[in-house]
Amino acid sequence: MNKAESFPITRRSRASLAPGPKGSAILGVMSEFTRDTLGFIERCRNYGDVVSMRFLYLTTYFLYHPDDIENVISTNSKNFIKSRNQRSPLFQRLVGNGLLTSEGEVWKQQRRLTQPAFHRHRINAYAETMADYAQRMISTWREGEVRDIHRDMIRLTLEIVVKTLFNSDVSSDADTVGRVLSRIVTPFAGQATIKWILDNRLPTKTHRLFNQDAREMDKIVYRIIDERRRSGQDEGDLLSMLLKAHDEDGSQMNDKQLRDEVMTIFLAGHETTALTLSWTWYLLAQNRDVEKKFHAELAEVLGGRLPTMEDLSRLPYTEMIAKESMRLYPPAYALGREAVKECEIGGFRVPAGAQVFMFQWATQRDPRFFVQPDKFYPERWTPEFSNSLAKYAYFPFGGGPRACIGNYFAMMEIVLVLATIGQTFGFSLLPDHPVSLLPAMSLRPADGITVKLNSR
Ligand code: HEM
């Protein structure tokens, strides 16, 4: 029997509680988690595939097996809502009740409304902007120059998402957004998710700064909305679709809701993609054999011209590199849910209200599913391997009804940007700029990724 089928939601389960670390009497495992988030996630795997623990008063489960992950985010997704941390006032302040955080009927309606902007035929039209913007960015770069490549990728992906989905230009705001964004996620780092459930109402300095930054982001988002309103143009893009829904039925989407949707796409639509690009350059700089094959594919297929949508299927190795990079450094390194009713997962009882976390970071490096799991090895992604892999052993874009709406958009952007930049520049890491991980809302480099540019 398929493992996922064997976990019915039961009314009153007699299954036992899962094993797990006890932590301290009051805090539970909070301190250990805060001190070393990724290490703690890895160590907990030693208890089994389903691990229970307590963060203060919150019963929490970590899941490591693809079948259990499938159970929660797909098969029995109706029994789960987003986890507490995503409903915290802090997160709400940032993205409000947009597509990422809403639930039930509101979410369904938002998803229906937003989906057309992400249909393949529409997204294909964005290819040119993606390659053009990448080319425009590197036109000022010079051989030997030292740059923070992550900052560049944030800027580029922000400009692309705003141009393609909102037909607006943020080049003058891009640096502000990058700066604000890196500050804004700081409170989510380390204590990541759970500590903020408790103290996010306190008037600390960090909170004051956070609110200040959030106001700055609001200004940019409202400016984009206002510009379109004033122009009165129906550009046929996502912003026009949202505005139409707003104007036709103000009761369904008021100004605040409109702002939340735009902010959600604005944030969800660029930082994750930028991170994949940044981590890919970082990995290529350390794996010259892979880089060589990458350059050979670009030379053979493109021969120096800009890549187009039609080239995507001719760049299989570039796509394998992107997939492998997202396996090792998944920008969304954790998914969180809350059980609505008591249920059973992996034979263990999970009470109503329990927080359930699943980690791309851990499962995508599990030796049961990936040979030499810590090795950057794009060649592993043959069609045969992909088809034989357990469905949720690799889930950088999540899955089930709440799967990433921008999956195809992101993959296309990643391959086109890698191909455009990779034809002109390679990167070397600098020994005096070590790169370290910051597991905040997403998996970021703590102090950027400083590289030296090498012309090709
Ligand atoms: C490499 C790039 C990306 C990664 C790794 C990524 C990852 C994810 C993941 C894991 C989820 C599911 C969250 C959950 O189940 O709790 C998600 C949802 C979402 N993503 Fe992405 N994403 C990426 C790019 C994008 C882009 C380009 C857009 C839009 C332009 C986007 C918009 C969204 C939205 C709106 C949701 C919420 C969907 C819903 O709940 O219906 N993402 N993303």
Query: pLDDT tens for residues 31-76?
Result: 899 889 999 999 999 999 999 999 988 999 999 999 999 999 999 9
Question: Could you tell me if 224 and 239 are in contact, meaning their C-beta atoms sit under 8 angstroms apart?
Answer: yes
Among protein residues, the one with the nearest Cα to ligand 1's atom 41 is 402
Q: Does the structure show a pLDDT above 90 at 13? A: no
Q: Which two tokens stand for residue 90?
A: 């802090």
User: Atom of ligand 1 at shortest distance to CA of 400?
Assistant: 15
> Ligand 1 centre and the CA of 413: distance in Å?
14
- The percentage of the chain sitting over the pLDDT mark of 90, rounded to a whole number, equals 66
For 287-302, what is the mean pLDDT?
98
Alpha helices in 200-336 (DSSP H): 205-231, 238-248, 255-268, 271-286, 288-301, 316-328
User: Atom of ligand 1 at shortest distance to CA of 157?
Assistant: 27
Confidence of residue 294 (pLDDT cuts 50, 70, 90): very high
**Residue 157: which H helix or E strand, with range?**
helix 149-166
Give me the pLDDT at residue 363, please. 98
Question: Could you tell me if 436 and 412 are in contact, meaning their C-beta atoms sit under 8 angstroms apart?
Answer: no
Instruction: Kindly report which listed range (160-174, 205-219, 259-273, 408-422) carries the lowest average pLDDT score.
Output: 205-219
Question: Could you tell me if 393 and 364 are in contact, meaning their C-beta atoms sit under 8 angstroms apart?
Answer: yes
Give the residue from 307, 167, 344 showing the smallest Cα distance to 243: 167
Among protein residues, the one with the nearest Cα to ligand 1's atom 42 is 406
Q: Does the structure show a pLDDT above 80 at 157? A: yes
Q: What does the pLDDT look like over 100-145, one tens digit per residue?
A: 999 999 999 899 989 888 988 888 889 999 999 999 999 999 999 9
Mean pLDDT over each residue of the chain, to the nearest integer: 89
Q: What does the pLDDT look like over 67-93, one tens digit per residue?
A: 999 999 999 999 999 998 888 777 788
Among protein residues, the one with the nearest Cα to ligand 1's atom 37 is 100
Q: Does the structure show a pLDDT above 80 at 389? A: yes
Confidence of residue 242 (pLDDT cuts 50, 70, 90): confident
> Ligand 1 centre and the CA of 342: distance in Å?
28
- Ligand 1 pocket: which of 404, 411, 415, 417 to mutate (most atoms <8 Å of CB)? 404
Q: Which two tokens stand for residue 115?
A: 């989906």
Instruction: Kindly report which listed range (11-15, 122-126, 193-197, 226-230) carries the lowest average pLDDT score.
Output: 193-197
User: Atom of ligand 1 at shortest distance to CA of 337?
Assistant: 16
> Ligand 1 centre and the CA of 139: distance in Å?
30
Q: What does the pLDDT look like over 195-206, one tens digit per residue?
A: 445 545 556 676
- Coil, helix or strand at residue 356: strand
User: Atom of ligand 1 at shortest distance to CA of 100?
Assistant: 37
Question: Could you tell me if 365 and 374 are in contact, meaning their C-beta atoms sit under 8 angstroms apart?
Answer: yes
Give me the pLDDT at residue 19, please. 96
For 354-364, what is the mean pLDDT?
97
Q: Does the structure show a pLDDT above 50 at 160? A: yes
- The percentage of the chain sitting over the pLDDT mark of 70, rounded to a whole number, equals 90
How many other CB atoms sit within 10 Å of the CB of residue 13?
A: 17
Residues with C-beta less than 6 Å from any ligand 1 atom: 99-100, 111, 161, 264-265, 268-269, 272-273, 276, 331-332, 335, 396-398, 402, 404-406, 409-410
CA distance 198 to 225: 34
CA distance 129 to 163: 8
| Angstrom distances, CA of residue 252 to CA of 87, 187, 223 | 21, 32, 22
Provide the β-strand partners of residue 146. 452
